[in-house]
Amino acid sequence: MTLEKNQEYEITIEDMGNEGEGIGHIDGMAVFVKDAVVGDTARIKIIKAKKNYAYGRLLEIVIPSEYRVEPICHHARRCGGCSIMQVEYQKQLAWKQDKVMNCLKRIGGITNVEELMEPIIGMKLRAEFPAIRYRNKAQFPVRRDKDGNVAIGFYAGRTHSVIDTDVCYLQDEVNDDIIKRFRKFLVDYNVEPYNEENNTGLVRHILTRVGRKTGEVMICVIINGKELTGVIQGDSPNSKSKYVNVEQELVECMEDIPGITSISVNVNLEKTNRILGDTCRTIWGKDSITDYIGNVKYQINPLSFYQVNPEQTEKLYGKALEYAELNGDETVWDLYCGIGTISLFLAQKAKKVMGVEIVPEAIEDARKNAEMNGFDNVEFFVGKAEVVLPEQYEKHGVYADVIVVDPPRKGCDEVAISTMVKIQPKRIVYVSCDPATLARDVKMLVAAGYEVKKVCAVDQFGHSGHIEVVTCLQRVDM
């Protein structure tokens, strides 16, 4: 039988899907229900029916699950940001731990994975609600809503319509103040929000960054124009309205925010989903802010990549460092090194670290950060890991005691894996943001003579379906 669109059913949610959505069954057919929590009995309506599965919309919770909580944010269901805020945090963690375990077992073929997995490292619990206020970077879109009011906030799930909000609970508290001031600034000075449909209007996004350890705050306004201007209407109905520069007025609105260090304007004139354009102009204070992960200092400008949850990143990299078991004599490769965050972490304990990254600007930052922290035992290469590593191995016979990898979601390239195996490091530490590709790559490494020693998941993104994992692999014939 197939389920029909628009039919209503009462179902019990038995499981959580890949993104954290609820899964129940009707006559043996799996039904995916966003916003439903495992353990709920719910009334749902079928919104899409396929041959072997269907999607349902949650209409009413008949009996709530013991894992269901009231999200602290009343936009949680509509907002595209938090997908599982209605699931109790400890349950989120248990689900993430299971997700990693299942991937390693089913895709990776690691049969004893239960013995190898350490307890998942969760985020700090806060009195008001667990795992909130953890992000150090916010990018709020600025638009007009259908009634013509200024809306600053978040995209509703799978759309570009902006939900106007005063508070995002994932962000640092300073943003609550910034959003309020910014909305008032736009209204007071008649600054036009961006219109995505026809690429008109001015203010596209407001981006903020906060140095968690330093308290330094950065504000960057992304505009569809060269300068930030407001409109002054003419005195009479026939006189033309005038555009005036209001950058100084923005500074006046923001300069007494605690910690404010940098205010800039970024120009993005393209009709594109990319948030930032290529050029930034500082209008007040410094060009960048600084922050620390562990003892390592980083300089962050609006365009640079930086981990968004520095507290959990420190724990994640701490695990990677622990798994690397360095005593100061090792040569280490850090593949997919970004701005060198892990490389510099490792450099504190290794003889030499070599980092590889495909984005040239990231490597520039990595070199700057190495210099700022006084590391002279690191070297960075621009290029693809699967090109640079074989080149260095074949031309210069490079050696590594330990190789650390932190690839994007698609995992490591096969050539990178086969070269790693040829180099035969004692240990490979695999940092992953996708347990499925991790498991696929681990299977190859195991087949090539490595053994999984330990696995630890770290929750970097509470209330979302994402999870980070560190895995320690050791050469078997050691």
Cβ 362 to ligand SAH shortest distance, Å: 6
Min CB(382)–ligand SAH separation in Å: 9
Q: Of these, 97, 171, 307, 369, which contacts ligand SAH (CB under 6 A)? A: 307
Q: Does 423 bind ligand SAH (CB under 6 A)?
A: no
- Give the closest residue to 106 by CA, choosing from 438, 467, 464: 438
Per-residue burial over 389-399, b = 16 or more CB atoms within 10 Å of its CB, e = otherwise? bbebbeeeeee
Q: Exactly one of 97, 171, 208, 341 binds ligand SAH (CB under 6 A); which one?
A: 341
* d(C-alpha 77, C-alpha 305), whole Å: 29
Q: Applying CB under 6 A, which part among 188-196, 244-252, 403-411, 469-477 lies near ligand SAH?
A: 403-411
475 near ligand SAH (CB under 6 A): no
DSSP secondary-structure letter at 171? B
Kindly state the tokens that stand for 63: 């009996």
**Is 338 one of the binding residues for ligand SAH (CB under 6 A)?**
yes
Catalytic residue check, 337? no
Sign of the four-CA dihedral 28, 31, 36, 41: negative
- Report 211-240 residues binding ligand SAH (CB under 6 A): none
Distance from C-alpha of 368 to C-alpha of 178, rounded to nearest angstrom: 30
Task: Kindly state the smallest distance separating residue 59's Cβ from ligand SAH, in Å.
Answer: 40
Question: Which residue of the set 73, 82, 433, 456 is catalytic?
Answer: 433
Angle at 167 between CA 161 and CA 173, to 5 degrees: 140
Write down the least CB distance from residue 177 to ligand SAH, Å: 29
Binding letters toward ligand SAH, positions 132-171, x by CB under 6 A: ----------------------------------------
CB 313 within 8 A of CB 293: yes
Q: Which CB, 101 or 316, lies closer to ligand SAH?
A: 316
DSSP labels for 413-426?
A: -HHHHHHHHHH--S
What's the rounded Cα separation, in Å, for the pair 312 and 293?
10
Q: Does 304 bind ligand SAH (CB under 6 A)?
A: no
Choose one: 81-89, 135-143, 266-274, 352-360; the region binding ligand SAH (CB under 6 A).
Answer: 352-360
Quick one: which of 368, 384, 443, 475 contacts ligand SAH (CB under 6 A)? 384
Residues 196, 273: Cα–Cα separation, whole Å = 9
Which residue of the chain is nearest ligand SAH when measured via CB?
A: 338
Residue 48 to residue 5: CA distance in whole angstroms: 6
Q: Which residues are known catalytic residues?
A: 433
Instruction: Give contact residues for ligand SAH (rule: CB under 6 A).
Output: 307, 336-339, 341-342, 356-359, 362, 384-386, 406-408, 413
